Amino acid sequence: MFLYTAACLAAPLSAGLAATDANPLLVESSLPYHLPPFDQIRDEHYAPAFAATMAAQLKEVDAIVADPEKPSFENTVVALDRSGLLFNRLYALFSNLAAANTNPALQKIEEDIAPKIAAHNDTIYLNGRLFQRFKSLHDRRDSLGLDAESKWLLDRYYLDFVRGGANLSEADKTRLKALNAEIASTQTTFTQHVQKERNADALVVDTREELDGLSESEIAGAAEEAKVQGQPGKFALTLLNTTGQPPLSSLTNRDVRERLMQASLARGSHGGPFDNRAVVSRLAKLRAERAVLLGYANHAAYQLEDQTAKNVATVNQLLAQLAIPAFANARHEADNMQTLVDRGGGKFAVGAADWAFYSEKVRQAMYAFDESQLKPYFEMNHVLLDGVFYAAHQLYGISFKERHDLPVYQPDVRVFEVFDADGSPLALFLVDYYARPSKRGGAWMNEYISQATLLGSKPVVANHLNIPKPPAGQPTLLTFDEVRTAFHEFGHALHGMFSHVKYPRFSGTNVPRDFVEYPSQVNEMWAVWPEVLKHYAKHYQTGEPMPVELLNKMLETQKFDQGHDTSELVAANVIDQGWHQLKPAEVPDDVVAFESALLKKAGADYPPVPPRYRSTYFSHSFSGDYSAGYYSYFWSEVLDADSVEWIKAHGGLTRANGDRFRSTLLSRGGSKDALMLFRDFTGGDPDIAPLIKRRGLDQPPPVLK
C-alpha cells in the first residue's frame, strides 16, 4: 500500500537526496506542469533513482519519529503526507511506462523492485513509534480542532496503519513483511506472463481466405503482424486481454473462429514458460494467509472492509441479483441465434466462438442494423475532439489545446493542455490510444502528477486504449465499444483534472476502488447523447452526419445482447470472489477444476458465455489492483445508472449539471466518505433498479420471428 498513488512534482527535493544532472529522475522537471522529461529518461536511471528516493523518504520518516515536540497534526500527519514526493513521482512514472511501453529491461526492473517497494512501505507502516504518534492523535481527534478534510486524513492514515499490521506482534510483523514481498513478486510474475503470452499466442493462419469477413485494413494489419513475428506471407491475429476477441464478430470461417476462441481461453493454462496456474494458486494462498494474519476471515473480507460495499455478503447479494436474470436472458439470446443457424442449415449448436458472429446477424435481422455500418462515422480524431472534448466543454466549459512542443515516450502519444472555463490553466492530458506489443491489454487512466493545494501541484493525467493501428494512410475507425471506452476513460481523466483537495492522499481518483469507476461510467452517457453524437459521428470521407435512421437504430439496440454482456461479467466476478473468499488451507492447486466448480455452483457455467476473464489471464484480479474487487464495475454502475437518471431528469447536457457534478463529487477526490459524495450529488441513496432496467434485465429479450 502506498502513501498515495499519484506523483507530485511541484515540491522541493526530498531531504537528503542529492540532485544530479546525470539522472533526470532526481531533479525537478522544468517542463510545464512538471511533465516528466520522457526524452531524457533511460532504463538505467530507474534502479538508482528508486534506491535514492526510498532512502530519502525513510530519512523523512525518521525525522518525524525523532521530533521531540508532542505529536501534532502538522508535525506528524501532514509531514507524512508530504514525505516521499520524489519516490511517489518515480513510482507513478515507472508503473505507467511499464504498462504502456515496456521492454525486457523494464520488466527486469519491475521484478527486482516490486518486493523492495513492498518492504519499503512495510518499513513505514510497521514502524511502531510512528504508529504511536498517529494513535495518540487519533485517540484525541475530536479535540484537535481539525476541519473535515484534515480529520478524514487522520482517520484514513490510522486505518492504513492498522490494516498494514501496526498492531501485530513483532513475529507476526516479520511474517507479514515476507508475505507482502512474495505477493508483490508473484503479482509481477502474473502480469508479465499475461502480457508475454498475449503477444506470443497470436493466432496465425496461412491464407487470406481464412480471414474472410475482416476488412481490408484488418487483413493488412494481420499480415503486418505476421511479418513482425517472423512469418511473412501469413496472417497473425493478436489477442486482446479479454476472452472475447473483436475478429470473432466478422470471421465467416467457423474453424478459424473456434481456433481463435480456444487460443484466448487457453492462455496461461497450457504449459510453457507463461503458464499462470501455479502462480494463481500461490497468490491466492498468500493473500489468504495475510488476511488471516491481520484478523480477517479471508482476503475478500480484508479488501471489502475499506470499500463502500463494506462486506462479502453485500457483494454476493449484488452478484446474485444480477446472475439469475442475466443468464436467463443470455439463454434467450442464444435461442435467437440458434434459430438463425438452423435456418441456414447449420448442423451445430451455438458456442462461445459463434456468439459475436451470430449475435450481429440477429441484430441485423431484428433491427436491420449492422454494427459495422457505424465505423465510418467513428473516426478516432473526430471522436476525441468533437465528441469526448466537446461534451466536456458543454458540461464544464473547459477547452483543449494540443501541445506539440512537449516530449512523449512514444510517437503516437498526444499531449493537450486543458484550460478551465475562465481560461486559467487546469491540467495536461496525454492520449495514448493505439495498441502495440509493448503495451498491456485493456484501457486505463493514470496520473503522472496529482493535484494538491498543499503542494501547489496541477494534474498531469493520461488515457490509454488498445485500438489496432491501421496501415499507413488508412483512417482509424472505431467500433462503438471503443468509442464508449474513450468516453469512459475520459471520465477518469476528469476525476483527476478537476481534483481540488488540499492533501495529496485524497487527490483525483484516490477513492475506494468500488467508487472509482462510478464517475467514469457516468461520462459514458454522453457518447450517445443526441447533441454530442451528432457533433462527432460524421462520415470520415464525406463529413456527412450519421443518418437519423442509423442513429435511431443504434440507440434502439442499446439493450441488445445485455444478457450475454452481463453474464460474462457476473462469471468473472464469481471467479474473483471465489478465489478470495477462501481460507489458506482451502486454496486448491488445480486452478481449472476449481474455476469450473465455482461457476457451476453459482449457476454461471454456461459454455456459450465464458467468463470475461479466466483465472489465468484475469489481470484485474491477480495483478493486484482489483483483487476481490472486480465487482466494483457493477457496484459503480448502480451508482452510475442512478445518477444518469438524475441528470436526465434535470435537463441533461447543461453547465448547471456539469458544475454540480464537478463541485459535489469530481473535485472532492477521496476527501470525504464516498457514499456521502454520491448522496451530495443525487440527494438520495443508491438503487439497483435503474441498472436492471438499463441492461434490459427486467424482462426477456425480444424473440426473433
175 phi, psi to nearest 5 deg:
-65, -40
The one catalytic residue in 197, 489, 568, 595 is: 489
Pick from 271, 274, 369, 123: which is nearest to 617 by CA? 274
What is the radius of gyration, based on Cα positions, of the chain?
Answer: 25
Strands 425-434 and 203-205 come out as unpaired
Among all chains, which residue has been given the C-alpha cell 491489454?
Answer: 441
Strands 425-434 and 460-467 come out as parallel
Q: Is the dihedral of CA 109, 111, 114, 115 positive or negative?
A: negative
CA–CA gap between residue 126 and residue 456 (Å, rounded): 30
Strands 399-403 and 203-205 come out as unpaired
CA–CA gap between residue 121 and residue 138 (Å, rounded): 21
Task: Report whether 258 contacts 353 (CB < 8 A).
Answer: yes
User: In sequence order, which residues have a C-beta less than 8 Å from that of residue 117 and are 6 or more positions away?
Assistant: 50, 54, 91, 184
Q: Which three cell numbers stand for residue 522?
A: 457516468
What is the three-class DSSP state of 467? Answer: strand
What are the strands, taking DSSP E only, across 450-596? 460-467
Task: Report whether 319 contacts 574 (CB < 8 A).
Answer: yes
445 phi, psi to nearest 5 deg:
-120, 145
Measure CA 57 to chain center. Answer: 28
133 phi, psi to nearest 5 deg:
-65, -45
401 phi, psi to nearest 5 deg:
-135, 125
The β-bridge partners of 432 are 464
Q: Exposed (0-12), middle (13-18) or buried (19+): which is 21, by Cβ within 10 Å?
A: exposed
Q: Which three cell numbers stand for residue 596?
A: 469450473
CA–CA gap between residue 569 and residue 609 (Å, rounded): 10
What is the three-class DSSP state of 646? Answer: helix
Active site residue 489: yes
Q: Which three cell numbers stand for residue 408?
A: 512523449
H/E element holding 403?
strand 399-403
Q: What angle do CA 262, 268, 271 make, to 5 degrees?
A: 95
Pick from 14, 82, 76, 81: which is nearest to 50 by CA? 14
Question: Within 4-103, where are the H helices?
Answer: 46-66, 79-82, 85-100
Task: Report whether 195 contacts 305 (CB < 8 A).
Answer: no
CA–CA gap between residue 511 and residue 506 (Å, rounded): 7
What is the three-class DSSP state of 446? Answer: strand
CA–CA gap between residue 603 and residue 294 (Å, rounded): 32
Q: Which three cell numbers stand for residue 303?
A: 479488501
Q: Which residues are catalytic?
A: 489
